[in-house]
Amino acid sequence: MDAQQWPIQEYDRYISNLFAAEDAALEFAREEMVREGMPQISVSASEGKLLHVLARMIRAERILELGTLGGYSAIWLARALPAQGKLISLEIDERYAEVARRNLKRAGLEEKVQVRVGPALELLTRLEAEGEAPFDLIFIDADKELYVKYLLKTVPLLREGGLVLGDNTLPRAVLDAAADSGTKRYNAEVSARLDLISILVPVLRMSGIDGLSISIKQAQRA
Ligand code: SAH
Ligand code: MG
């Protein structure tokens, strides 16, 4: 078969089998979400590993996630943390948060990960007031329409040299060139900002191609 005709799923299977094999806790988390009738919109295993590698590259000790769902991406991220590291994950749906807590406990990560329930924008204000910032890495994966608002509110919570990652930023952003979308506005914003160095990386999933926008916060010049 011509390489151009290989389905994307085959490439993802190759990468995942070699670099991102799921252990029992990750498999359990995925199955638990199916049993609970939750949407199957978690990151793929290969993207989970990408998040993990990015967190390790910058030696992240404090991570913030917007949009927990069943805690699948939280497991990949939290496993990149050192012993004293911490991940705070924000989720609007109380029932999803409960499933995530269960999955994280099963992965032995209940000490490192705190799931907070509420609309992310409100929780961010509280986090800041409680002195939880600065964070080394912020993973934006909640309401797509609010991505620019999330960005404006989270960049000040990020240390210089830290990463802000925006998930699912490719398909809806390009399919219809004229259409407006939250993720398209997000890509326009991160690519234009002078305090961020950014790139949009295509990622593979079983459902097809998607994207992760990666931005590094620039050190301010004196
Ligand atoms: N990061 C997860 C997937 C998150 S899916 C993973 O890859 O494993 C998006 C999640 O964002 C859903 O669980 C949804 O309930 C949550 N969400 C949607 N709007 C939100 C909001 N305003 N505040 C916080 N969470 C929100
Ligand atoms: Mg996502």
What pLDDT is recorded for position 3?
53
| Residue 222, domain member (yes or no) | no
Domain count, the chain: 1
- Whether ligand 1 lies within 6 angstroms of the CB of 143 is answered as yes
Q: How far is the CA of 166 from the centre of ligand 2 (A)?
A: 8
What number of residues does the chain have?
Answer: 222
Q: How far is the CA of 4 from the centre of ligand 2 (A)?
A: 26
Q: Which ligand is nearest to the CA of 183?
A: 2
Closest protein CA for atom 21 of ligand 1: 119
Q: What is the pTM of this model?
A: 0.96
Output the domain CATH number for residue 151. 3.40.50.150
Q: Which domain holds residue 42?
A: 3-217
In a domain, 18, yes or no: yes
Our answer on whether the CB atom of 142 is closer than 6 Å to any ligand 1 atom is yes
Summarize pLDDT for 132-174 with one digit per residue, the tens: 999 999 999 999 999 999 999 999 999 999 999 999 999 766 7
Cα–Cα separations (whole angstroms), residue 66 to 3, 26, 28, 94, 146:
37, 19, 22, 14, 11
Asked whether residue 19 is assigned to any structural domain, the reply reads yes
Closest atom, ligand 1, to C-alpha of 143: 19
Residues 6+ apart with CB under 8 A from 87: 62, 63, 64, 65, 74, 77, 78, 81, 112, 113, 114
The share of the chain scoring above pLDDT 70, in percent, equals: 95
